[in-house]
Structure 1
Amino acid sequence: MGSSETDETLESYGTEIGKRTNSVTRVREWVLVEGDRLFIASLVSVAVFLLFLSMNEIGIISFANDDSITRLAGGMIAGTFSLVTLVVSINQLILSQEFASAGDAREQLESVMSFREDVSETTDVAASPASPSRLLELLVETINEQAVALDDAVSEYDDAEVRELIGRYTNSIEESTDRVDDTLEHTQFGTFKAVSAAVGYDAAWQLYVARNLRGRYGESLPDDAVDALDDLIGTLELFNTTREHFKTTYLQKELTRFSQLTIYCGVPAILGAMTLGFVYADLTGPTISAVYLPFVASALIAVVISPLALLVAFILRTATVTRRTASVGPMLPQKDPDAGPFDVTDD
């Protein structure tokens, strides 16, 4: 075994959303993926309200010019209509994926049933759970058990370096599966926490290492170790498939929810922009006292940008999840070509 195999640690090259290093990382993860999207959108609207109030107090902007505000209100109305139209188009695209003929629906059903049978055989249960979070939990527990079995099978292997490498690999699997299992036990599919735990579990890296171990040392390892390694590879492949399916299902639900909320917020936003224009429609100037005008105008602007705040909140999450799961299986674009734990030069 080359020096690169012993010097490099078996660290993950994946997302590992469950790990937290500092407060900045925790805040970033909460904003990007974990925080409630409605709450994030509300924070954006409140921030806009406070921003306009603050700039008015400092003297950077003013709400006294009728022409500027009425032009702004007209632009807001046009922009809100465009955003709502875009969201309706996204919703139609999602719905188009749901339409299927009887033959297509039957093929989908047969493929799902075949997959669930594979899960049942791999995890040694009578029937795989119907709940997506429980199914993921079952696969994670099976991966943990197979990693323990692999570690036990090489406990008396002659080559100390290979034994140490496999030991570090199985220890990393046990740590990550315990973390994900704790999360999945207290979640239900429909909340992002379950999807986040599945996305954060770096099965692609574990599958990459397992296949390398199998290819390099399969002929010299004990038979029970090879069997345990083959079982682990099969379960990791099933986990990758399950995660991709549930991730796609969740993103469809998320985008559908985003479409509904945008429609709900779109009508108040348009009415708010119209109200802002009417406040300045009087020939004598604004119909509201100058004392309260900054508060009213800032509040109406915050209402108008609420659909945009929703777009920001939901796109942050969906784009982050999609970026972190851009590849399926042991294809690791974030991994350095010469990074460990295996020497990648030609023999």
Structure 2
Amino acid sequence: MSSSIDPDEDVNVDTETDLESDADADIGTANTMRQRAGESRAKLWVMLGANRLLITGLLALTVFVAVLVVGTQFYPGFHADLQTEDTIETIFSTMIGAIITGTTLVVTISQLVISQENGPLGDQHERMSSTMNVRDYTRDLVDRPVPADPSAFLRNIIDASGDRARKLRDSISDKDDDELKAEVNEFTTSLLGNGQQVREQLDGASFGSFDVLFAALNYNYGWKIFQAERIKYDYQDSLTDDEKELIEQLRTTLSMFGPGREHVKTLYFEWALINLSQLILYISVPALIVAGGMLAFVDGTSVTGSFVGVAHITILVTAAFTVTLLPHLLLVSYIARVATVAKRTLAIGPLILRESQR
């Protein structure tokens, strides 16, 4: 379960990256996901950052209030309708069918996710070999042992990118080409600042919550790869072979962040869908009990009285209806996050799909 996360947390960048440059600001484009998407902090908090149980609760409260207001203020005959057996029976018999159908569908999806992890011994050996090959490649790339923790794994790649960016900046510091120095300074400042911000967000984040993936989404590695390629091409006559090699090493390190993030994203999706299946199974039982209880024991004429001008039967039916909706609302809250992440990570590498970044 995820904790509440600030989509655009402000952090202090290390003084080592506190450089000023008059180069084109597009070199150091917006880095965080909120800045790149051009959307409000509140929307990203609801769709991504907030705890999914909290969002489910807010949706349930919204449904309860909306039905109550509509039933008392805009449809005066609602109370009279609830006093007939047919209305309550129709509502909750329909909800029982919806709960059973929805629960079956979600469990089926969960089984499909789990089935991806199953396979014969040869397939499992191939998966293990591929994983170890990537770890060996990453170890050579970052020049240190590769940690098993996902957040530490991504931090290592960010640290290695920062080290190579500093080497590149230092290597051109004595050059006569002021335009090249300005662009490299702007580029490395953006890279180091974004890396420091994401590194702090990753620090202490544990897999199983959304924190690791959310922080990884704030690292704008694709744009950095493009800028490294562009600088190498535009200033090929001013750069020495060693400096070109430094740019190529930086580009290679940045490109490793892409598959690393996608792997973390895939694991999170599987984790979240399995959690969703478990929670829906748990919550569908009380939802069915409430729906069955309303059918078996509640008669619209037997519940009398009112509270602040609202009939008890209206409050009771609205509350029961909201409870029976909880499995669906839980599904909405989880799928909203999964779909949002999937949409924002359709492209791997330096491909820009969002109009706000073009």
TM-fit CA distance, 1:128 = 0.6
Partner of 1:118: 137
**What does 1:60-139 align with in structure 2 at a 5 Å threshold?**
60=75, 61-62=78-79, 63-125=82-144, 127-139=145-157
Give the alignment's TM-score, normalised by structure 1: 0.87
TM-fit CA distance, 1:260 = 0.8
TM-fit CA distance, 1:18 = 6.5
Larger relative contact order (Cα-Cα within 8 Å, sequence gap ≥ 6): 1
Partner of 1:10: 27
1:323 to 343, 347, 355: 343
TM-fit CA distance, 1:234 = 1.0
Provide runs of 4+ in structure 1 moved above 3 Å.
Answer: 11-14, 18-22
Question: Does 2:204 match 1:189?
Answer: no
Q: Which amino acid aligns with 2:152?
A: R
Question: Does 2:296 match 1:301?
Answer: no
TM-fit CA distance, 1:157 = 2.3
TM-fit CA distance, 1:275 = 1.8
1:245 to 263, 266, 271: 263
Structure 1 CA distance, aligned partners of 2:221 and 2:121? 35
TM-fit CA distance, 1:159 = 2.1
Q: Check the 8 A contact 2:168/2:247 in 1, yes or no.
A: yes
Question: Does 2:57 match 1:42?
Answer: yes
How has the CA–CA distance of structure 1 residues 270 and 136 changed in structure 2, closer, same or farther, with 3 Å as cutoff? same
Partner SS for 1:332: coil
Deviations along 1:264-290, one digit per CA (max 9) or x if unpaired, are 11122222222222344x5xx443224
Q: Check the 8 A contact 2:28/2:186 in 1, yes or no.
A: no
Structure 1 CA distance, aligned partners of 2:253 and 2:218? 17
TM-fit CA distance, 1:298 = 1.6
- State the identity %: 30
TM-fit CA distance, 1:152 = 1.2
Q: Check the 8 A contact 1:207/1:330 in 2, yes or no.
A: yes
Partner of 2:273: 255
Q: Say how many residue pairs are matched.
A: 328
1:163 to 162, 181, 184: 181
Q: Check the 8 A contact 1:148/1:170 in 2, yes or no.
A: yes
Unaligned 5+ runs, structure 1: 1-5, 340-347
Partner of 2:17: none
Q: Check the 8 A contact 1:154/1:222 in 2, yes or no.
A: no
